[in-house]
Structure 1
Amino acid sequence: MATHTIAPAAGFHPHIYTNITFKHPPSRLDCIFDIIYIIPREAFVDANQLTDLKLSKHLVVLNESDLEAPAERVRGGNLVAVRYEAEDYLMSLGKEVTIDLPLHMRYQQPDSLWTHQTVAIPVPKVGWTCSIEPYQKPNSIPPLPSIDFHLERDSRTTFDEIESSVVGNMTVSIPVGRTTDTNTVKIGTHVIVLFGALWIAWAIYSAVVKRKRTELKGKRRKSE
């Protein structure tokens, strides 16, 4: 049984919390226990940040794209798979594991009516990924089963999903700009830039005047 929570429910940096209790041993030692997160294009994960979490021995991040691009310029999202080999799973039997997956929400297109946009986050998939044919070579480490971005069953692997529950809604509310505020923002930006330029010019003028006065006082003392 796996339980998933997303918090905070508003903002640009939510986290997905997954709680899993490892109860039943695997039926085959060449299977992988996967916690699979499908991240929509409105969000992304930072692979460098995930490596610091030390979630498991095997962490897969697929379909990475420009981390700075707004949502409308991104075609697809990310897939993150936290993978436990059967031996690691057996060592965790009876224990509850909490996985904290940080997300970063992308900037959305401005809207004429709404100040926030709600983005749905798919419920993570938890289960066993196994090869169709059991690994037969003795005294060797079985290879990790492959994982498809869309979780489509192919001729090589199967995915046996276990039951999951969600605490609250898997949605995030993101602030968006309003197109009706465009003129206000433009005028405000021009005013701030103009004020900043005038302040810099005044500061330079004051510094030059002060320096000339100092130099003039020095010349007078020398002449005396």
Structure 2
Amino acid sequence: MKQRITYIVRDPDAFTPEQLVVKDDFFAVEQVSAAKEHRITLGLSELPEELRKAFAQWHELHIRWASGSPYQAAAPFTSRVSPGLHVFYTPQKTAGDGRLCPLLREIFDSSLGCESPKESFIKMPILSERFSMSASSQFYAPVHTLSDLVHYIQSKLCPPSSAFCTDAAATLHSASYLDMDFDAISHALIINAFWAKAPNASAHWTENISLRGPSDTIEIGVLNNEQNPDPEDIAFAGFLTVLGQDSQPKPTRFQTPTRHYPLPSSKRLSYRTSFAHPTGLHPTLVLTLPERNISPPDSTCKLHIHLTLPRTLFIDKYQFNDALFLSSHHLKSLRSLSGATDLEAPDWVIPQWGSAALFELAVPGSASPDSRIDPGWNVTIPMHLRYLPPFPDSGHRNLEVPWPVVFWACRAEEGTKMSNNPFDRIHLGYEALFGPKTRFMHATPAPIGNGTGRLVEVIQVPVLDVGKVKWVEAGTVGVVLAAFFGLCWILGRKSYAMGVASVEEEVRERKKAQ
């Protein structure tokens, strides 16, 4: 097992080397304010037999989980995905899907709507097969916590009576995001966990790190971001050490190209997500950005929004073929739409988890001349609600919609080798929709005012109230019976009138004959 632990110091001026304690097989940090990434690399031989057999049937598997709690990203960990569980998967051509869905339910959530990759996953759109940075299929589920994963690690992966392993697994409860990667070439499982801050009242890290086995190695870096004149690179300075080898911390400074680049302080951009009320059968997502901050960081940059929608909602792609319609909603184009996009199917016949959409946004020409007044730039995306199953004792049902990801997509210089970045993060669901030389600069979710405290919108939509169905049935039967008897009465009166008229006509004819 190999480990890499990286601390990105928030305030370099408040950090001193005296806050580090280093020995041959021991490392400690004391009251350090920093973001933290913990990377663990496991060979297949170190995994339980159940997982080894499963991984042997898969070509690649990439899992991305993001917390619904807002957090402040730190370079180089600025990339984002919508809150919840994202699974990107490519099967072996000569093997089946193995136990992928049962394992996902066991590890993350027993209620996951995952039956099999063929039924529940959606096909990933790929811009270029040659430069693909994407798996072939995708699954999403609104998993809010990693409680099931923590329990799985503690019960299935941790050695018996290993308090260290149990405690380490418990720290995932406070992680901002978690990545898990496997591919058939490396035959290794890589786990990355990121914390935007320490999970305590002071938000400072105080912890001890030590080797647990003779073959283990732990690389530790305590770094801070430095100003860099090269707009394509990001620079770091700090201390590096490797436990088990020459453990003395060595001062270091390096720079590297990065795929996900932080926005300059003068270009910082935040956004809020909401739904227009009442939502009804045609909810409209509203994305609000401060108008005065919407200026491209570079002339090649275009502003995008990537949506992850549950199958209960869908987008009608034909609406977005009209330039006037797009302009009225402050949109430039619908770049990509994949997944459950059937316009007529009700919710209960859709096997896939939902759909994913990428929009390019229109950017306002100029901000308000008064910097104190910023009404906000609202981008609206009309959606449609599928017919949902009846809900007992209520005429409404709550749906959860994760906040989208908003970013600038910019063209990088030729020759930029982003893969050299040791912190590079790919397989996020949208990079394959762009060229391989694209840089992403992410907007930050604004403080939440939706009442949930999470980057998830909860909307009420109308459904059939099961408790009132009997009144509908009784009323329908009553109307049908009333209509039937009314029609019989009218027909009877008409028949009687026709009979009387016929008798009178016959009497008149007889009188004429006499």
TM-score of the two chains, using structure 2 as the length reference: 0.33
Q: Deviations over 1:13-49 (max 9, x none)?
A: 3322222225264344333210233221111233344
1:71 aligned to 2:347?
yes
Distance 1:94 1:16 in 2: 23
Equivalent residue for 1:42, pick from 304, 312, 329: 312
Q: Which amino acid aligns with 2:442?
A: E
Structure 2 contact 398–460 (Cα < 8 Å) conserved? yes
Q: 2:429 aligns with which of 141, 151, 154?
A: 151
Larger radius of gyration: 2
SS of 1:196's equivalent?
A: helix
Which fold has the larger relative contact order, with Cα–Cα distance below 8 Å and residues 6 or more apart in sequence?
A: 1
Confirm or deny that 1:105 pairs with 2:375.
no
Cα deviations across residues 76-115 of structure 1 (Å, max 9, x unaligned)? 433343314xxx64x6242642122223222222244655
Query: SS of 2:402's equivalent?
Result: coil
2:276 aligned residue: 7
C-alpha deviation, 1:172, in angstroms: 1.1
- Which sections of structure 2, spanning at least 5 residues, go unmatched? 1-269, 369-375, 416-426, 452-456, 509-514
CA shift, 1:70, in A, is 1.9
Match of 2:215 in 1: none
Is it true that 1:16 corresponds to 2:297 in the alignment? no
- SS of the residue 1:92 aligns to: coil
Aligned partner letter, 1:119: L
The 8 Å contact of residues 45 and 102 in structure 1, kept in 2 or not, is answered as: yes
Identify if the C-alpha distance between structure 1 residues 73 and 186 changes in structure 2 by more than 3 Å, giving closer, same or farther: same
Q: Which residue of 2 aligns with 1:173?
A: 460
User: Map of 1:122-201 to 2, 5 A cutoff?
Assistant: 122-130=402-410, 133-134=412-413, 151-154=429-432, 156=436, 157-165=438-446, 166-168=448-450, 170-179=457-466, 184-201=471-488
Distance 1:93 1:213 in 2: 86
Query: Alignment partner of 1:57: what SS?
Result: strand
**What CA deviation, in whole Å up to 9, does each residue of 1:117-154 have, x standing for no partner?**
211111122111245x5479xxxxxxxxxxxx962545
**Alignment partners' CA distance in 2, 1:26 and 1:134:** 17
Root-mean-square deviation (Å) = 4.0
- Give the match's secondary structure for 2:293: coil
Give the partner amino acid of 2:402: P
CA contact (8 A) 2:281 2:461 kept: yes
CA contact (8 A) 2:306 2:430 kept: no
CA contact (8 A) 1:11 1:172 kept: no
Relative to 1, partners in 2 of residues 1:187 and 1:129: Cα closer, same or farther, differing over 3 Å?
same
Distance 1:206 1:135 in 2: 91
- Runs of 5+ consecutive residues of structure 1 not aligned to the other structure: 137-148
- Counting aligned pairs with the same residue, the percent is 22
The 1:194–1:158 alpha-carbon spacing in structure 2 relative to 1, beyond 3 Å, is farther
Between Structure 1 and Structure 2, how many residues are aligned?
205
Question: How many angstroms does 1:213 deviate by?
Answer: 8.5
